[in-house]
Structure 1
Amino acid sequence: MDNVKRTIRVSVVEDDPADFLILDEMLLDSSRFRFQVSHISTIDEARPQLLAPECDVFLVDYFLGRETARDLLLEARKLHCTVPIIVLTGANSQKLDDEVLELGAADFLPKEELSLPLLERTIGHAMRHKRAELELERMVKRDPLTGLGNRLLFEEILESSLSRCKRSGSSLAVLFMDLDRFKEINDSLGHPTGDLLLVLISDRLRSVIREADFIARIGGDEFTILIDDLHSASDALAVAQKIVSAVSHPSPVGGHELNVSASIGLALYPENGDTPIKLMQKADLALYEAKRRGLSKVQCFTTNLQTQLEKHLSIEKGLRHALEHDQFELYLQPQWELKDRKVLGFEALLRWRCGTSGAVTPDEFIPVAEKTGLIVPIGEWVIFKACQYLKEWQAMGIENCRIAINVSPLQLRAGRFVDALESIASAEGIGTDLIEVEITEESLLDGVEEHGRVPKELSRLRELGIKIAIDDFGTGYSSLRYLRQFPVDVVKIDKSFVSSDQDALMEPEICRAIVTMAESLGMDVVAEGIETQVQLATLQKMGCPLGQGYLVARPLPFEAATRWALVGRASPA
């Protein structure tokens, strides 16, 4: 009979030896289970077991010297302890009962009511309930495609590992990895092939890390890896290089042999931070730097990147202050017909006057605004200001001068941009046909998710009569298929193809090709960055209809732009 008993390991946390002996004798008399009972006298002795449990259940006396079971339950919750905790007490209190259950205890038993059948039932129920809870948690915190953990589970496990490292004095590393040019595979071969590739990459990652380490897929082609119990930074770099090497092997997927590569950013505890958010933030920044350096690169977080991070945080704080204290300005740069210099509209360009430190350039603050999500409220401020400008022009009799606003795909993905634009324009009494939306070619394509939010939002804009322009055209993934995929009215030739150190066009053949392509698709073309008469004349001969640049005007404050709109014609600056 004893051979079929189930063995259950019980750790009793009890500072009274007599009470422990009572529990020990009671459990040893069980005919239903074989209990292996161990004794822990203090909460300090119990804490290490929360990180690496050596039992199946804890029985914890509520009053333990100066501390209580409440302290242990709080720590168990913080460390995501996977073993149920049953609290025992000599005090029969409904208040204590409610308190410990809210803190995560599996049950609360008065010592005076204890019996072997009650303990057997309570322990069995607590273990079954905990298994069900962990299975549900596993489903919620796992990536359904790869079976890896998701961001939530990664952060929880990282937090537990950090607590263990702080106690033991050991180190760990957080790696951020994404696949280089994964989007091109999705676009050319389709999302099913991309999904199969992600599953294959996940299997390769599992094969090169230790069982004690942990991998998560946190979105798209982005993965995080926790390297625990680290001896040195060089060990973490060696693991990162093994991962890069494993990923770079040819990948047979869906009848194709794909050549892919990965970039990795790396942050270390304790050198680079002591919280999950700090380490993940710094690993992410290191990944950004790795990708900037090329394909298959590994980058550790460095002092230089720390400086960048501090600048990023300073800009983020400043942007929040600027939103609250109206420190933004909206300048306008004329867009005009090349043949007769007739002004058709203006591009709205955001400027930020940062108190006594002067202006912060858009190249510095726009990426931070996008990364933090502040681009959404800032974008709504731009809409409101542009509509105010159009309303003032309308009162002056300026009826046909539109304003083009730059829009991040993050604004479109947030799902409220179109509604905000329509609502603000309606409130100001402005026709939406006077507004144009500009989105860069590269960021547009980066913003196309599987659920197609960006294309749908662009279609909604078209339905409102709003023109859509692709800005900086030619610098991204130029293709006729992409132009046909999205509802585009205007193509803007990037200024890097127009401006040069000389009078002539920088890239005349590229400019000519874009003009010809746009004309064949029935789209308007605006050449950005026109600075000389020679560039202007060459573009006119190519048949480019519209232009913008310093030859005619730099971005202007509203009052100066209004004078241009009233005259309706541009003259050289």
Structure 2
Amino acid sequence: MVSSEKVIRVHIVDDDPTDFVILDELLSGSTRFRFELSHLSTIEEARQELLDPECDVFLIDYFLGRGTARDLLMEARKLHCTIPIVVLTGANSPQLDDEVLELGAADFLPKDELSLPLLERTIVHAIRHKRTELELERMVKRDPLTGLGNRLLFEEILESSLARCKRSGGKLAVLFMDLDRFKEINDSLGHPTGDLLLLLISDRLRSVIREADFIARIGGDEFTILIEELHSVNDALSVAHKVVSAVSYPSPVGGHELNVSASIGLAIYPENGNTPIKLMQKADLALYEAKRSGLNKVQCFTANLQTQLEKHLYLEKGLRYALENDQFDLHLQPQWTLEGQKVIGFEALLRWRYGAEGMVSPADFIPVAEKTGLIVPIGEWVLSRACQYLKEWQLLGINNCRIAINVSPLQLKAGKFVDALESIALAEGVSADLLEVEITEESLLDGIEEHGRVSTELSRLRGLGIKIAIDDFGTGYSSLRYLRQFPADVVKIDKSFVSSDREELFEPDICKAIVTMAESLSMEVIAEGIETPTQLLELQQLGCLLGQGFLVSRPLTFEEASQWALAGRPSPA
């Protein structure tokens, strides 16, 4: 509600002094509201005022020398200006009316229709409408748990801050922070305790950040901080270390005293970028480097990280080109019975040869694909090629060899993976149950904990008769509780437990424990990375029945794999 007691500050932007006098005379005659008017006579004055407006409403003439209100409206949108703008014009044009309203003007008034009642009603309505709009925005752009801004609001405020810095020549810093080992707290103590910890950390962040700065929660335990009015990088580092120190105090939560720490990556304007996306990208990369260096670390974006970023962008560009030009290949590594080495299926392994780089390691390009979202269309390409292989095998009379494909939880979170699989299998005329889905242990647990859609998609897959294999088992944060909640069909013993520089099994006790656990849950076991006859024999003695590895075969081309499938096919009864 706009009170009649409150002074309504009106900034009039008009290059004609006569028009200002007319508006002044009209509004000074109001008995309902108290208006306080200021006159800005040039578009440059108005632009400067938009950076930090000290008014309740702008009244702007459409034609301003060589510029127009359109220019100011676009500037206001870029700056996310929270003050309503009413446009006035002497031209009678419905097209102008539509144009300025689309650009965010609160209203459009012809000058020849101006009257005190019309001005009063328009100004008050514009202010009320803007307040309602901002309140709705606040609800949409706030994190419901902590009340902090979310990613969308952070990006908007960062964009506005950058515009001010570009005009003033100032500096700002973007900090990315996340809590070290937060997932372990969630897993061991539950989400309610994790939420209480996030609330406590949010309060601590507020206590060490100036009012002029801004904090947002952009993910589970991920926070961003915007620091303005910097004099040097050291100012940002000082704030970052204060944050790390505040977070590291013992945290009494839900009857537990938790000792948590935080890692921070930071990027500086203008040194590290001049757009929100560049600064956030570089702060995120610096955070990743901080976490690689250990716990409780602060890392600035550096020239070395710039090299990593350039490699990331280079690979991203290459992946997009490879998708458009069908430059991937799918090799197949046989999976076989330890007794007799009879082929029972294959694991599909994505291969990519890129320019002068030659063969690019999946360890290099898969993280880039996941970070950019390209893993979803790449995953569909893998599905399509695997189904084409199965179709060709059908024509050769091979009907009992399944193909296991590796699936990222991001593909499952997108919610379209199973639909794509069904559609592709139907188009190729193959049975979906000849496919197997492999997902890493850590990804499976993360996905089920944080995203219900992952569980839904996996359940739909099992409903289609598709087996689900847990890859790299034993390397993640294991929990039998999750396996019982969502039992998979196959457990793959990670190769780090099987092979090393010696003939024998590297971790026989762990291998035995995994085999025993799988048997208790009625799951198949496949040992990866078998390289020696001794390892094979020891796995057999532990009760493992299936394996894959260089002892029998490296990954094969489709033509080579087809020969293996034909030769390894069981004889008819």
> Does the 8 Å CA contact 1:375/1:408 hold for their aligned counterparts?
yes
Letter of the structure 2 residue corresponding to residue 96 of structure 1: L
Report the counterpart of residue 428 of structure 2 in structure 1: 428
Report the counterpart of residue 92 of structure 1 in structure 2: 92
Q: Note the C-alpha offset of 1:408.
A: 0.7
> Does the 8 Å CA contact 1:341/1:569 hold for their aligned counterparts?
no
Which whole-Å deviations, capped at 9, do the CAs of 1:527-566 have from their partners, x for residues lacking one? 1111112222222222221111111111010111111111
> Does the 8 Å CA contact 1:330/1:350 hold for their aligned counterparts?
yes
Q: Taking structure 1 as the reference length, what is the TM-score of the superposition? A: 0.95
Instruction: Report the 3-state secondary structure (helix = DSSP H, G, I; strand = E; otherwise coil) of the residue aligned with 1:392.
Output: helix
State the alpha-carbon separation in 2 of the partners of residues 315 and 566 from structure 1: 37
> Does the 8 Å CA contact 1:441/1:476 hold for their aligned counterparts?
yes
* 1:154-193 alignment runs, 5 A limit: 154-193=154-193
* 1:68-107 alignment runs, 5 A limit: 68-107=68-107
Q: Note the C-alpha offset of 1:273.
A: 0.5
> Does the 8 Å CA contact 1:107/1:122 hold for their aligned counterparts?
yes
Matched, 1:109 2:105: no
Report the counterpart of residue 256 of structure 2 in structure 1: 256
Q: Note the C-alpha offset of 1:154.
A: 0.8
Report the counterpart of residue 138 of structure 2 in structure 1: 138
Q: Note the C-alpha offset of 1:249.
A: 1.8
Q: Note the C-alpha offset of 1:428.
A: 2.4
State the alpha-carbon separation in 1 of the partners of residues 517 and 5 from structure 2: 79
Letter of the structure 2 residue corresponding to residue 365 of structure 1: F
Q: Note the C-alpha offset of 1:164.
A: 0.1
Which whole-Å deviations, capped at 9, do the CAs of 1:469-488 have from their partners, x for residues lacking one? 11111110122223212231
* 1:438-449 alignment runs, 5 A limit: 438-449=438-449
> Does the 8 Å CA contact 2:335/2:346 hold for their aligned counterparts?
yes
* 1:87-486 alignment runs, 5 A limit: 87-355=87-355, 357-486=357-486
State the alpha-carbon separation in 2 of the partners of residues 206 and 356 from structure 1: 49
Report the counterpart of residue 554 of structure 2 in structure 1: 554
Matched, 1:64 2:64: yes
State the alpha-carbon separation in 2 of the partners of residues 66 and 357 from structure 1: 53
Q: Note the C-alpha offset of 1:110.
A: 2.5
Instruction: Report the 3-state secondary structure (helix = DSSP H, G, I; strand = E; otherwise coil) of the residue aligned with 2:448.
Output: coil
> Does the 8 Å CA contact 1:148/1:216 hold for their aligned counterparts?
yes
Which whole-Å deviations, capped at 9, do the CAs of 1:108-142 have from their partners, x for residues lacking one? 22323323333222222211111111111111111
User: Could you tell which deviates more after superposition, 40-49 or 96-105?
Assistant: 96-105
Which whole-Å deviations, capped at 9, do the CAs of 1:382-423 have from their partners, x for residues lacking one? 111112212222222222221111111111111111122222
The answer for unaligned runs of 5 or more in structure 2 is none
Change (3 A) 1:46 1:210: same
Instruction: Report the 3-state secondary structure (helix = DSSP H, G, I; strand = E; otherwise coil) of the residue aligned with 2:218.
Output: strand
Letter of the structure 1 residue corresponding to residue 235 of structure 2: D
State the alpha-carbon separation in 1 of the partners of residues 422 and 196 from structure 2: 40
State the alpha-carbon separation in 2 of the partners of residues 277 and 156 from structure 1: 11
Q: Note the C-alpha offset of 1:259.
A: 2.2
State the alpha-carbon separation in 2 of the partners of residues 5 and 349 from structure 1: 73
Which whole-Å deviations, capped at 9, do the CAs of 1:16-51 have from their partners, x for residues lacking one? 223323322333333222222222110101112112
* 1:16-27 alignment runs, 5 A limit: 16-27=16-27
> Does the 8 Å CA contact 1:447/1:454 hold for their aligned counterparts?
yes
Instruction: Report the 3-state secondary structure (helix = DSSP H, G, I; strand = E; otherwise coil) of the residue aligned with 1:359.
Output: strand
State the alpha-carbon separation in 2 of the partners of residues 4 and 338 from structure 1: 87
Q: Note the C-alpha offset of 1:504.
A: 2.0
> Does the 8 Å CA contact 2:57/2:85 hold for their aligned counterparts?
yes
State the alpha-carbon separation in 2 of the partners of residues 290 and 305 from structure 1: 11
Change (3 A) 1:432 1:108: closer
State the alpha-carbon separation in 1 of the partners of residues 118 and 424 from structure 2: 66
State the alpha-carbon separation in 2 of the partners of residues 400 and 377 from structure 1: 28
State the alpha-carbon separation in 2 of the partners of residues 4 and 409 from structure 1: 57
Report the counterpart of residue 499 of structure 2 in structure 1: 499
Which whole-Å deviations, capped at 9, do the CAs of 1:254-306 have from their partners, x for residues lacking one? 22222222221111100110001111111111111112222222111111111
> Does the 8 Å CA contact 2:405/2:437 hold for their aligned counterparts?
yes
Instruction: Report the 3-state secondary structure (helix = DSSP H, G, I; strand = E; otherwise coil) of the residue aligned with 1:219.
Output: coil
Change (3 A) 1:139 1:443: same
Which whole-Å deviations, capped at 9, do the CAs of 1:166-205 have from their partners, x for residues lacking one? 0000000111112222222222222222222222221111
